Structure 1
Amino acid sequence: MTTAPAPDAAAPSGPPPLTMTGTVLDAPDPHALAGFYRRLLGWAVTMDEPDWVKLIPPGGGPGLAFQAEAAFVRPSWPAAPGVQQMMMHLDIETPDLPASVAHALSLGATLADFQPQPDARVLLDPAGHPFCLWTPTHS
């Protein structure tokens, strides 16, 4: 007969502490895409390596990173059968939707053909990742 090991009194009672540090986007040129988001958001570069760039917001918090991926395929927006689908998108709040859209377009974003709602605009970054600029609506 075997006996179960004695419980370890020092074992943690819950999950280990975890901290979300950021979101990572694949890109054929991570430096170019990081430059777009740096200018769009006004965030600072904190890591700059040959295949990796990370940005952080001025007040701290989770950042946005970009990694080189030679096999990157631009996602389709909206989703369509048989083509690369979007795996995620970024939601970026703004108090002035028209000015923010104009700013993003001036940096190299493109306005998506399909716009699902009036208080948001779907744009594509230079690598083709969809992102939403949106403004809160009040009822």
Structure 2
Amino acid sequence: MPLQMKLTAITLDCPDPLALAAFYQQATGFELHPKSDDEFAGLHCEDGLLVGFQRVDDYRAPSWPDQIVPQQLHICFKVEDDLDEVEARLLQLGAGKPDHQPHDKARVLTDPAGHPFCVVRGG
């Protein structure tokens, strides 16, 4: 029988916690944790999950799709809007788009710290 555990936080390493938190805040609308600072920033999701961003000296961004620097984490977001519109908005916010895209049902992008994430059309 599995333990009854609830996921309460996910933390990403990065060179600039406040900048990465700002990117995800603009992309998701999640609320910035009031005690965020240069070492650790967090965003509160509606369901109570905290997405954290912690400063790491000498941070090396993941290289995707190759694994020279492994991705270590991959986040997926379900969206209701048109994928082209969502992609364009995320690129304006500072996301990157790798040349390799595995299929047309999702878009793989990278956040400003290089972490890959997907946006997938809901439904």
> What is the deviation of 1:111?
1.0
Inter-partner Cα distance in structure 2 for 1:117 and 1:28: 30
Inter-partner Cα distance in structure 1 for 2:103 and 2:50: 27
Inter-partner Cα distance in structure 2 for 1:102 and 1:136: 17
Matches within 5 A, 1:70-85: 70-80=57-67, 83-85=68-70
Counterpart of 1:54 in structure 2 is 42
Q: Whose RCO is larger (CA < 8 A, sep 6+)?
A: 2
Any idea what the Cα deviations from partners look like across 1:70-106, whole Å, max 9, x if unmatched?
12101111024xx211111110111221111011001
- 2:123 aligned with 1:126, yes or no? no
3-state SS of the aligned residue for 2:114? coil
3-state SS of the aligned residue for 2:84? helix
3-state SS of the aligned residue for 1:110? coil
Any idea what the Cα deviations from partners look like across 1:21-50, whole Å, max 9, x if unmatched?
121100011111001000011110124133
Q: What are structure 2's unaligned runs of at least 5 residues?
A: none
Aligned length: 121
Q: What are structure 1's unaligned runs of at least 5 residues?
A: 1-13
3-state SS of the aligned residue for 1:70? coil
Any idea what the Cα deviations from partners look like across 1:112-137, whole Å, max 9, x if unmatched?
11000111000011111101011146
Instruction: Assess if the C-alpha contact under 8 Å between 2:13 and 2:53 holds in 1.
Output: yes
Instruction: Assess if the C-alpha contact under 8 Å between 2:16 and 2:38 holds in 1.
Output: no
